[in-house]
Amino acid sequence: MIPTANSKSPQTQPLHSSIGLDLPSLSSTGDNTSDHSSIGLDLPSSPSSHPLSSTSENTSDNVDRTPWILSICFVALAWGLNFPVTKLVTDSGTNALTIPAGSFTCLRFALSGAALSPFLFLKSTDLKQNLLGGLEVGAYLAIGYVSQAVGLQTETAGSAGFLCSLQVVFVTLLAAARTQKISPKALSSAVLAVLGVAQLEGIGQGGFEGLTPGFLILMLQPIAFGFSYLRIENLMKKSPDDALPFAASQMLATALFAGAYATMFEGGSTLPDSFHAIFADGLASPQALAIGYTALFGTVISVALECEALKYVSPREASVILTSEPLVASVGAAMLLKEQFDGWLGAALIILASVVTFLPDKYLTMFNKGEEDGSS
């Protein structure tokens, strides 16, 4: 899912990943008086802190939050189902008419970008900045989403979802590398992530035979998405009210780069051939429905709902709900594809690695204090 930033919160702007998980910031002021942070490339050397550790809650006492909490649940459901739906039309073993990965990604984001494109021309937005920033971020997102679609041709949707969730761990490790300080949070999440991936792919039992080409391609997801977040929050700080226009520019750029991939690596006629094959029978074909679902429900509507819901639901609450997304991917794959997923121990370790990155620093401080008291 396209990352967005909630521009309405006065003290914290949580960054949301392509699979819905809030990402740890790479920097902070260091004095715990403010949670404003930048995870751009020009990072200060202060220790990292997660934006969810802010004491301010992005909620309203005068508004019934139930509909907005349910909206976040819908977002988790919609984003989780993107994985099996994508596999349904890109894996030749699941459908008679298979759409190449690059073509599918291009058509998906061309439609979603077109749906949000009117926001680009609002008078209050900086069109040039949004287009240039979207072009930069779209390159990273195209790598992530094309690799996702390619990997899903051979790997399970459940595995793809859990591997994608490693992006929060990747960003946490980037924070540790930048500050040259391995925090308990970074170390714990890294160890859990490595153990989870090893268990998920059966590395411990069968050596490295579990590292199939499809698995390695799927590992590009957290890396590409992680680097995209390094730029998104930094760019959003310049125009914090341009969440939807910026999302539109990212989607259009993603479609552009995915189209270039399809032209270069899938054949020059792939895109028009795919378009004709998909819509030859109208809008009711499985391929057309898949593109419509991932573009509209799994992208546009979810982005809009998330932007609005985060005015009333705290980032911490949203994070807890959205960690269920890989589970939705696995259950959805079982229902849509009759896919069997047996890597639950590895999946649990990966989710735990992500949850560790959400822990407020105060809990780590309490842990360290307890160790010091025990050693004195």
Q: What is the 3-state secondary structure (H, E, C) of 291-343?
A: HHHHHHHHHHHHHHHHHHHCCCCCHHHHHHHHCCHHHHHHHHHHHHHCCCCCC
Q: Whole-structure pTM over 0.75, yes or no?
A: yes
Q: Note whether residue 21 is domain-resident.
A: no
Taking every pair of Cα atoms in the chain, the longest distance, rounded to a whole number of angstroms, is 75
Q: 275 lies in which domain range?
A: 65-166+206-340
Q: Note whether residue 191 is domain-resident.
A: no
Q: Which residues are bridge partners to 23 per DSSP?
A: 15
Q: Note whether residue 26 is domain-resident.
A: no
Q: Note whether residue 257 is domain-resident.
A: yes
Q: Note whether residue 366 is domain-resident.
A: no
User: Cα separation of 62 and 178, whole Å?
Assistant: 41
Which pLDDT score, from 0 to 100, does residue 31 have?
38
Which pLDDT score, from 0 to 100, does residue 235 have?
85
Do the Cβ atoms of 239 and 125 come closer than 8 Å?
Answer: yes
Q: Note whether residue 10 is domain-resident.
A: no
Which pLDDT score, from 0 to 100, does residue 219 have?
93
H or E element at residue 16? strand 15-16
Domain count, the chain: 1
pLDDT digits (tens, 9 = 90+) for 104-122: 999 999 999 999 999 998 8
Q: Note whether residue 270 is domain-resident.
A: yes
H or E element at residue 23? strand 22-23
Which pLDDT tens digits describe the chain residue by residue (376 residues)?
Answer: 555 554 443 333 444 444 343 444 444 333 333 333 333 333 333 333 333 333 334 545 677 888 999 999 999 999 999 999 999 989 877 666 788 999 999 999 999 999 999 999 887 778 888 999 999 999 999 999 999 999 999 999 999 999 998 887 888 788 778 777 777 777 788 888 888 888 877 655 555 566 789 999 999 999 999 889 878 878 888 878 888 999 999 999 999 999 999 999 987 667 787 777 777 777 778 889 999 999 999 999 998 898 888 888 877 778 778 878 888 999 999 999 998 887 888 888 888 888 887 776 666 555 555 545 555 5
User: Cα separation of 156 and 159, whole Å?
Assistant: 5
Which pLDDT score, from 0 to 100, does residue 344 have?
85
Which pLDDT score, from 0 to 100, does residue 44 have?
30
